[in-house]
Structure 1
Amino acid sequence: MNNKPSEIRKSPIFNKYVIITPGRALRPHDLKEYTQNQPNPDCPFCVQNVNKKNIVDKIKTKNDTITSIKNAFPAVSLDNQKAYGVQEVIIESENHQVELADLPLKQIESLLDMYAQRTRVIAKNKKIDYILCFKNQGSKAGASLSHAHSQVFATKIVPEDLREEMILAQRHKIKHNTCAYCDIVKMEMKSSRKIYADKYVVAFAPYASQFHFEAWIVTKRHTDSIIDLTQNEKKSVAKILKHLALKMKELNLSFNYFLHNVISDKQQHFYIKIQPRDGVWAGVELGSGLVINSVSPEAAAKYYRTK
């Protein structure tokens, strides 16, 4: 039994509070048996069902193809001045029965190339200021289709939470003359929350994690966008992203990940935020904004470090 007391933690830089309650360790009966994605002849992302007119980009890999298509049910579009933006679906593989954890490293690296490619193209539109590349995997994470895919969402509106993050990062810059994210990297490199580090990236479970098994992947070099990543950096990101996906697959966790890009913000630092979705936010979280996390980031990092 874990008798560690609860602890209120605040992000070292941002205005986010979390209550870590490590009394509930992950137990075998908490886990569900993993079920393999089954074939579906009607899947709209399988190659035989994709409308060629909707294809906007392709990257061919050794034995596969990554395809970006127009979203069939967009919340925003270039034709709608009241909800202006771009929404695309990136089909990560032609194989219906694989997921992110199953993809070869080179395929995941090419997926990052596709994110960069679409971000570069969409950013040329002067009306667009915010581009989000994201993935929903599993029903708890909001995925409505099982075929491996992610999405690109772009609009002229920068979300308020992200604006606040930008303001706080700018204040940190003025006060310390350093990048907030670079300082987070330095702090987490020395902590028990570090999951992985090499010459190019570091992965860690953040000090004030809002989600069970939350992890961030951050470049060591200060670079503001996926567009600017070198191939070596993409290889490192792909390597740890695959490892994290495999470890989440072991626990059968649904998850989201996000890559933000604010065109007008030249102070941002590239990172991927991975947020597993095994819990449900209830009264405390929804009513107060305080998040209760029953898996400490130290325990999450220890799990992720295992082979």
Structure 2
Amino acid sequence: MNSELRKDYFLNRYVIITPGRLKRPRSAVTRTIFVKEKECPFCPKHIEKSLIIKSYFKNKKTKTWQIMVLENKFPIVSLKSFKAYGQNEVIIEAPEHGRDLAELSIKEIINLLEVFKERTKELSKLKRIEYVLIFKNQGGRAGASLVHTHCQVFALGILPPEVEEEISAAFKYKITRGDCPYCDIIKTEEKSPRLIWRDENVVAIAPYASAYHYEAWIFPRRHIDNIIYLTKKEIKSFAQALKKILFKLEKEDLSYNFFLHQVIKEEDQHFYLKIQPREAVWGGVELGSGIIVNSIPPEEAAKFYRKV
């Protein structure tokens, strides 16, 4: 297969797939701050009580929690700020120091997704909040600063321009073609070699014009705007797909980001989760032209994930 210029499904974004430079995943050089357990601010003994928002799934016998939500001690935005209104939260995924998300059980990941759902719902109630982003940075190349497994919540008083652009493009697609672009993506890709995993509730794919090595998207089959509307069965399926993908990345020691693509006030959008491994470093072509060069074809990425 020679190099191929590919366009996103419906956005005006381009990628050049260059399989001639295909290589096996390599361990990423990380600069994560490996704070010792006795100094870690996310370990139960060291959590600042003034930052606690809520704890979840407490063990009745040991009285320990599985998940804890904190206010970010160093927030980018604040509900008290007029100039930079919003809310920053940290979601500690497990009390144990040294466990990674990929190592959690399906039940524990289900619980985490339930917390994502609850935090989205609670923050959506605030009148001035227009957007709720839940994301994870895993590994130094992905911007992680602490090793204790955690995600973050970034709620804003504006809708980010890139998100607004995608909403607008999706609306235009539906007007001209009569259906949701993401629903069409699901229909097309679950029959393609880019399929990673599927069941009756969820489809996971490597997108056709992947901008990142081993990029993966997880969709609910049902057309819903955000995670609030996921059913128990859908959350279980999401947890299974997420576990499968993250386990493979963890095995290869690859840094990654994931985030929820969701809207809280725009109707008729399609919720999904993006996982973007950060093995490659963008250079002059990407930064100068905006066209991404990806040496891992998504067909190969999907094969990588499907392999047990």
TM-score clears 0.5? yes
For residues 135 and 76 of structure 2, the distance between their equivalents in structure 1, rounded to whole angstroms, comes to 15
Q: 1:276 to 1:32 in 2, by over 3 A?
A: closer
Q: Within 5 Å, which residues of 2 pair with 1:1-307?
A: 4-27=1-24, 30-31=26-27, 39-60=36-57, 64-307=65-308
SS of 2:37's partner is coil
Shift of 1:290: 0.3
Shift of 1:39: 4.5
Instruction: Answer whether contact 2:226 2:264 (CA < 8 A) is retained.
Output: no
> What is the aligned length?
302
Please list the CA deviations of residues 55-75 of structure 1 after superposition, one character each: whole Å capped at 9, or x if unmatched. Answer: 112211668510110000000
Instruction: Answer whether contact 1:130 1:260 (CA < 8 A) is retained.
Output: no
For residues 104 and 158 of structure 1, the distance between their equivalents in structure 2, rounded to whole angstroms, comes to 34
For residues 45 and 198 of structure 1, the distance between their equivalents in structure 2, rounded to whole angstroms, comes to 35
For residues 106 and 263 of structure 2, the distance between their equivalents in structure 1, rounded to whole angstroms, comes to 28
Q: 1:27 to 1:120 in 2, by over 3 A?
A: closer
Please list every run of at least 4 consecutive aligned residues from structure 1 whose deviation after the TM superposition is greater than 3 angstroms: 30-35, 61-64
2:52 alignment partner AA? I
Structure 1: which 5+ runs fail to align? none
Instruction: Answer whether contact 2:28 2:254 (CA < 8 A) is retained.
Output: no
Deviates more, 1:157-166 or 1:230-239: 157-166
Shift of 1:102: 0.5
Instruction: Answer whether contact 2:28 2:255 (CA < 8 A) is retained.
Output: no
Percent of pairs identical after alignment? 50
TM-score by length of 2: 0.94
For residues 168 and 25 of structure 1, the distance between their equivalents in structure 2, rounded to whole angstroms, comes to 32
Shift of 1:177: 1.9
Q: Please provide the CA RMSD for this pair.
A: 1.7
Please list the CA deviations of residues 55-110 of structure 1 after superposition, one character each: whole Å capped at 9, or x if unmatched. Answer: 11221166851011000000000111100000000000000110011101111011
Q: 1:33 to 1:246 in 2, by over 3 A?
A: farther
1:248 alignment partner AA? L
For residues 252 and 71 of structure 1, the distance between their equivalents in structure 2, rounded to whole angstroms, comes to 27
Shift of 1:25: 2.4
Q: 1:61 to 1:275 in 2, by over 3 A?
A: farther
Shift of 1:12: 1.9
1:262 alignment partner AA? V
Instruction: Answer whether contact 2:29 2:141 (CA < 8 A) is retained.
Output: no
For residues 27 and 217 of structure 1, the distance between their equivalents in structure 2, rounded to whole angstroms, comes to 23
For residues 241 and 36 of structure 2, the distance between their equivalents in structure 1, rounded to whole angstroms, comes to 28
Q: 1:260 to 1:57 in 2, by over 3 A?
A: farther
1:229 alignment partner AA? L
Please list the CA deviations of residues 222-279 of structure 1 after superposition, one character each: whole Å capped at 9, or x if unmatched. Answer: 1111000001000000011011111001211000001133222112111000000011
Q: 1:113 to 1:134 in 2, by over 3 A?
A: same
